[in-house]
Structure 1
Amino acid sequence: MTDADERRVNKALQGLEFPADKAELIRYAEDREADPRTLRALRALPDGTYGNSDEVERSVPQRPEQETPGR
């Protein structure tokens, strides 16, 4: 994940109360009208619950655009 990706993810999740699972992260970002690249990065996350935005950042694959669609 690039620095720009990290900034987009942080912005999309700003104000979210953690812990949150993958579905909650995506739903929150969608509600905030996050851009498609940010949503793609969040959809590429492994299933699970995240304690804070740092955990989310560390868990996004390096190249989320290459992840399998529908994840």
Structure 2
Amino acid sequence: MSDKPNPIQLQKHLGGIDYPAGRADLVEHARSHGADDDVLSTLESIPDRTYDGPNAVSQAVSQV
């Protein structure tokens, strides 16, 4: 996998998503908001669970 996106870049593509959201929801939202392959592959690699907000997503990404 390429470099992980920084948290600001990641959240830019997740802006406006309604939480709680699952991994598939995050990936689809980011894809529809122009996320590049690095962002999408990073989101696809986080655990498949429900995330209650942007901090939870950022934490999961940091552990990938």
Fold-level similarity (TM above 0.5): yes
- Rg larger for: 1
Aligned to 1:6: 7
- How many residues matched? 62
Written as runs of structure 1 = structure 2, the 5 A alignment for 1:19-34 is: 19-34=20-35
Runs of 4+ in 1 over 4 A off after TM superposition: none
Within a 5 Å distance, the mapping from 1:30-69 to structure 2 comes to: 30-62=31-63
For residues 44 and 17 of structure 1, the distance between their equivalents in structure 2, rounded to whole angstroms, comes to 20
- Unmatched tracts of structure 2, length 5 or more: none
Seq. identity, %: 31
Q: Distance in 2 between matches of 1:37 and 1:16?
A: 19
Residue 8 of structure 1, CA deviation? 1.3
What letter is aligned with 1:47? D
- Over aligned residue pairs, what C-alpha RMSD do you find? 1.9
Instruction: Structure 1 unaligned segments of length 5 or more: list them.
Output: 65-71
8 Å Cα contact 1:5/1:38 also seen in 2: no
